[in-house]
Amino acid sequence: MLRSKLLSAVFGASLSLALISSGTAFAAGSHGGGHDMKIGKPGDPAKVSRTIEITMYDNYYEPESLDIKEGETVRFVVRNAGEFVHEFNIATAAMHEAHRPEMMMMMEHGVLEPDRINHKAAKAMQASMGHGMHKEANSVLLEPGKSGEIVWTFPKHADLEFACNVPGHYETGMHGPVKLSH
Amino acid sequence: MPSWLLRRALVLGAGLAVALTGAANAGEYNLTVDRVTVDTGTFSRSGIGYNGASPGPVLRFKEGEEVTINVTNNLSEPTSIHWHGLILPFDQDGVPGISYDGIAPGDTFTYNFPIVQAGTYWFHSHSGFQEPDGAYGAIVIEPEKREPFRYDREYVVQLTDAHPHSGNRIMRNLKMMPDYYNRQQRTLFDFLKDSREQGFDAALADRAAWGDMRMMPTDVEDLQGFTPLINGRSTEQNWTGLFKPGERVRLRFINSSAMAYFDIRIPGLKMTVVQADGNNVLPVPVDEFRIAVAETYDVIVQPKDNRAYAIFAESMARTASVRGTLATAEGMAAEVPDQRMPPRLTMADMGMAHEGMDHGSMDMGGMSHTMPDGSTMQGMNHGGAGMTGMASGAHKMPDGSTMKGMDHSGHGSMAASDPFYAPGSGLTPTAANGGKFLSYKDLRAQKPLYEHREATREIEMRLTGNMERYIWSINGVKFSDAEPVRLQYGERVRFKFVNETMMTHPMHLHGMWSILDVGKGKWNPIKHVVSVAPGTTVFMETEVDAPGQWAFHCHLSYHADSGMFRKIVVEGGPDGKSAQVPSSKTEG
């Protein structure tokens, strides 16, 4: 149990590429310069108004859309009930789009396998290419059977989606709208 | 209990349950086999169809259903229907001389079998050249469980290569003169041009080598002069599928051609491949893909603009093309893209590079960047031919830009490399927009059907032929002279296809799955057609889990008929019970 918690904490960290060598390539991406109020910000756990459970299947979410109040701080408990690795990521459609090539590259480098995250390959990739893994507060990447959490404070106005950017998942429908009410 | 045995038991159990509960999950379907007119807009001729039309209807089944299909032969000759890609008892497989005797004129044959799979398949006549003459239709099987992708609407996109000549006439002409339909032959003028470019001796040596092969560099398609159709419609007739902007549309591509491979793209749209040969694959976003004869690919597209998009299919040799349209209203027509230049076969396609082409040991994916010593990319030695096994454009961003800071020096023509083509092959496809072209190596089973295990034995199948006499064969022996291939129930056979010809052969095994070795172990995709390019060796594995006797052949109609065909006999069965097979009888 302890082991699985530890693992999920590790796996909960979003794999993301700091593309040092091609710095500007992803300036528009979710990892270019932190999170401004455009998409919201990491939330204070003490200010959470409610918990929303997200279940990830192959390749879709339940629920399929989210109704959130402007400025609300929500705890998302995300469970991967599918047989493949999935991500729960809150961002704009453009940010998701920019994020997908990074995920594609991780798949091509064997870091992202269909049903697991290969940490050996991740380390090798980091060593050879200078790409690192670091935690992103707006997303969680989970192996099958694993759970993770995000606490997020939403902005007043934004066109947000929650989405999985594992190659092919977004394209085949694994995303949903975040409806912000006033 | 091994998983394949368990599944077979489940399948049997399911069949029994259906029988006991009566008609709750049983469907009855009627097909007539009729003389029809095939009208392409440029020519019109008599052909064969189903329920009065070619292509025939889309048969929609549900996984778990027990189907009864009454097929009435209204022709004046025998016919048959083969359910391409369906897993069923061998006596329902529809191959005259192997599964049954066929359907005599005026007779009705009733097929009855359980549907044990889901996805996109098709059906066609397995008698003579009725299929090239128009006898084909689509099968769509709805899965029991929710699919791993979402779409708002779906269309079958079934391709064919309609020819103004009947199949029988084409076969006669090919036998008489194998280059009868090759309109791209090189001329003295081409030779003089080659001499200028390569020098006279080199050009002459090149010509002599081609002569020895009894082939020509233009032998990409040995049947030209056809009009490709989408769902029975030519470019002018413009098959159209409607959508609302933003909708996700599933397109079920089926290549029902007699001879033509197609390269398919939808300019302006990324296609996400979600299924190959009826089995889900891990989704792969691509710009273009090649569909071998008899294959199926399902893609999902999301057209966002209120306009017409072209579904454009160019034949592999670029001798013909067809445009269909995805549009927001009837009557809209997308612009027809220009056909690209025809490819030329190279010495590599002649088999010069054979020795280096062992796909079984070419899993570059696993070793490309997992350097245990942590050395950098620059220090990696991809070593010559092995490099072709690396993902093409592995470091290309989807927008086509390469990543700065990465050293690709020495990687050469990586963008056009694909381990399923001979290195330097003239056939290696590239996307029209410079983007991603699907390769077999991108395909991974979404849900492996079998536990991965070592093959119990290997069977070599050299794909051979004598172009001058238009004889196609396996291991140098044509069907009429060959003994059946005997397999034992329960074994896992590794087939080694060595293509010694200069043509691409889509090999099709009936009744059992073809697990294509793309070097991904348990994730290897599960297919029913495996295309083998010239000068390459391709491996596939089959769990021998279906008793009885089955057809195995090149799906190019005129290759199958002229001898690239085998009968496969599966001996034994569950609990030692072998299937009751009729006394041996061999006919094409």
**Interface confidence (ipTM) of the complex:** 0.74
Q: Can you give the pLDDT at residue B531? A: 98
> Is A129 within 8 Å of chain B by CB?
yes
User: Tens digits of per-residue pLDDT, B278-331?
Assistant: 999 999 999 999 999 999 999 999 999 999 999 999 999 999 999 999 999 999
Q: Mean pLDDT across chain B, nearest whole number?
A: 84
Partner-chain residue, chosen from A22, A58, A173, that has the shortest CB–CB distance to B403: A22
Task: Point out the domain boundary residue: B122, B146, B170.
Answer: B146
Q: Can you give the pLDDT at residue B410? A: 33
Q: Between chains, do B300 and A169 touch, taking CB under 8 Å as contact?
A: no
> Is B363 within 8 Å of chain A by CB?
no
B211: in domain:
no
In the sheet where B309-315 sits, what is the strand order?
Answer: B240-242, B321-327, B309-315, B262-265, B288-291
Whole-Å CA distances, B202 to A12, A124, B16, B193, B206: 61, 47, 68, 12, 6
Give which of A53, A87, A63 is closest to A170, Cα–Cα: A87
B503: in domain:
yes
Q: Give the largest CA-CA distance in chain A.
A: 48
Task: Find chain A residues with C-beta within 8 A of B302's C-beta.
Answer: 171
B226: in domain:
yes
Three-class SS string for B502-539? Answer: CCCEEEEECCCCEEECCCCHHHCCEECEEEECCCCEEE
Contact B369, A129 (CB under 8 A): yes
> Is A65 within 8 Å of chain B by CB?
no
User: Tens digits of per-residue pLDDT, B442-456?
Assistant: 999 998 999 999 999
Is residue B507 located within the same domain as residue B411? no
Tell me the backbone φ, ψ of residue B499, rounded to 5 degrees.
Answer: -85, 105
Instruction: List the domain range (segments joined by +) for residue B553.
Output: 457-576
B270 has pLDDT over 70: yes
Whole-Å CA distances, B445 to A174, B455, B497: 19, 18, 21
Task: Find chain B residues with C-beta within 8 A of A121's C-beta.
Answer: 369-370
Domain ranges of chain A: 2-29+39-181
B17 has pLDDT over 70: no
Whole-Å CA distances, A109 to A63, A115, A132: 32, 15, 13
B382: in domain:
yes
Please state, as a whole number, how many other Cβ atoms lie within 10 Å of the Cβ of residue B274.
Answer: 26
Residue of chain A whose Cα is closest to the Cα of B368: A109
We report the CATH number of the domain holding residue B262 as 2.60.40.420
**Closest Cα of chain B to A109: distance in Å?**
6
SS3 assignment, position B191: helix
Partner-chain residue, chosen from B149, B282, B446, that has the shortest CB–CB distance to A173: B149
User: What's the pLDDT band for B167 if we cut at 50, 70, 90?
Assistant: very high
B484: in domain:
yes
Q: What value, to the nearest 5°, has the Cα angle with vertex B290 and ends B288 and B293?
A: 150
User: Tens digits of per-residue pLDDT, B550-574?
Assistant: 999 999 999 999 999 999 999 999 8
SS3 assignment, position B348: helix
Cβ neighbours for B310, distance < 8 A, ≥ 6 positions apart = B266, B267, B323, B324, B325, B334, B335, B336, B337
Please tell me the distance from the alpha carbon of residue A150 to that of residue B141, in angstroms, as a whole number: 39
Give which of B321, B342, B351 is closest to B503, Cα–Cα: B351
Give the residue carrying structure tokens 């897993």: B87
B379: in domain:
yes
Please tell me the distance from the alpha carbon of residue B249 to that of residue B170, in angstroms, as a whole number: 37
Cβ neighbours for B17, distance < 8 A, ≥ 6 positions apart = none
Give which of B272, B335, B337 is closest to B303, Cα–Cα: B272
Rounded average pLDDT over B86-110? 98
SS3 assignment, position A49: coil
Rounded average pLDDT over B521-541? 96
Q: Are strands A175-181 and A66-69 parallel, antiparallel or unpaired?
A: parallel
Count how many domains chain B has: 4
Please tell me the distance from the alpha carbon of residue B14 to that of residue B293, in angstroms, as a whole number: 33
Give which of B540, B56, B61 is closest to B278, Cα–Cα: B61
Whole-Å CA distances, B371 to A21, A116, B361, B364: 19, 19, 18, 12
B97 has pLDDT over 60: yes
Residue of chain A whose Cα is closest to the Cα of B447: A83
Whether CATH 2.170.190.11 fits A2-29+39-181: no
Beta-bridged to residue B298, according to DSSP, are: B252, B275
Contact B425, B346 (CB under 8 A): yes
Q: Between chains, do A114 and B151 touch, taking CB under 8 Å as contact?
A: no
Is residue B287 located within the same domain as residue B153? yes
B30 has pLDDT over 80: yes
> Is B337 within 8 Å of chain A by CB?
no
How many contacts, defined by CB atoms under 8 Å, are there between A and B?
Answer: 101
User: Tens digits of per-residue pLDDT, B359-395?
Assistant: 333 333 333 332 333 333 333 333 333 333 333 333 3
B107, amino acid identity: D
Q: Can you give the pLDDT at residue B359? A: 38
Three-class SS string for B80-123? Answer: CCEEECCCCCHHHCCCECCCECCECCCCEEEEEEECCCCEEEEE
User: What's the pLDDT band for B29 if we cut at 50, 70, 90?
Assistant: very high
Is residue B463 located within the same domain as residue B400? no
Is residue B308 located within the same domain as residue B172? yes
A23-27, B244-248, B266-270: segment of lowest average pLDDT: A23-27
Is residue B250 located within the same domain as residue B308? yes
Is residue B330 located within the same domain as residue B242? yes
From first to last of the 182 residues of chain A, give the pLDDT tens digit: 344 443 333 343 444 443 333 333 333 334 434 445 589 999 999 999 999 999 999 999 999 999 999 999 999 999 999 999 999 999 999 999 999 999 988 888 889 988 999 988 888 888 877 665 556 889 999 999 999 999 999 999 999 999 999 999 999 999 999 999 98
B557: in domain:
yes
User: Tens digits of per-residue pLDDT, B460-518?
Assistant: 999 999 877 889 999 999 999 999 999 999 999 999 999 999 899 999 999 999 999 99
User: Tens digits of per-residue pLDDT, B56-80?
Assistant: 999 999 999 999 999 999 999 999 9
Task: Find chain B residues with C-beta within 8 A of A101's C-beta.
Answer: 397-399
Task: Find chain A residues with C-beta within 8 A of B370's C-beta.
Answer: 109-110, 120-121, 124-125
B360, amino acid identity: G
B450: in domain:
no
Q: Between chains, do B283 and A129 touch, taking CB under 8 Å as contact?
A: no
Is residue B329 located within the same domain as residue B367? no
Is residue B156 located within the same domain as residue B134? no
Please tell me the distance from the alpha carbon of residue B7 to that of residue A176, in angstroms, as a whole number: 36
Helices B200-213 and B188-198, interaxial angle, to 10°?
A: 130
Is residue B90 located within the same domain as residue B167? no
Task: Point out the domain boundary residue: B118, B146, B174.
Answer: B146
The sign of the dihedral angle between the CA atoms of A159, A160, A161, A166 is positive
Partner-chain residue, chosen from A57, A109, A169, that has the shortest CB–CB distance to B369: A109
Is the pTM value of this prediction over 0.90? no
> Is A127 within 8 Å of chain B by CB?
yes
Q: Between chains, do A171 and B375 touch, taking CB under 8 Å as contact?
A: no
Q: Between chains, do A104 and B282 touch, taking CB under 8 Å as contact?
A: no
User: Tens digits of per-residue pLDDT, B321-338?
Assistant: 999 999 999 999 999 999
> Is A100 within 8 Å of chain B by CB?
yes
Q: Between chains, do A171 and B150 touch, taking CB under 8 Å as contact?
A: no
The H or E element spanning position A146 is none
Q: Which two tokens stand for residue B6?
A: 């368990």
Is residue B162 located within the same domain as residue B305? yes
Whole-Å CA distances, B226 to B318, B369, B464: 12, 46, 25
Tell me the backbone φ, ψ of residue B179, rounded to 5 degrees.
Answer: -100, 20
B33 has pLDDT over 50: yes
SS3 assignment, position A11: helix
Is residue B273 located within the same domain as residue B372? no
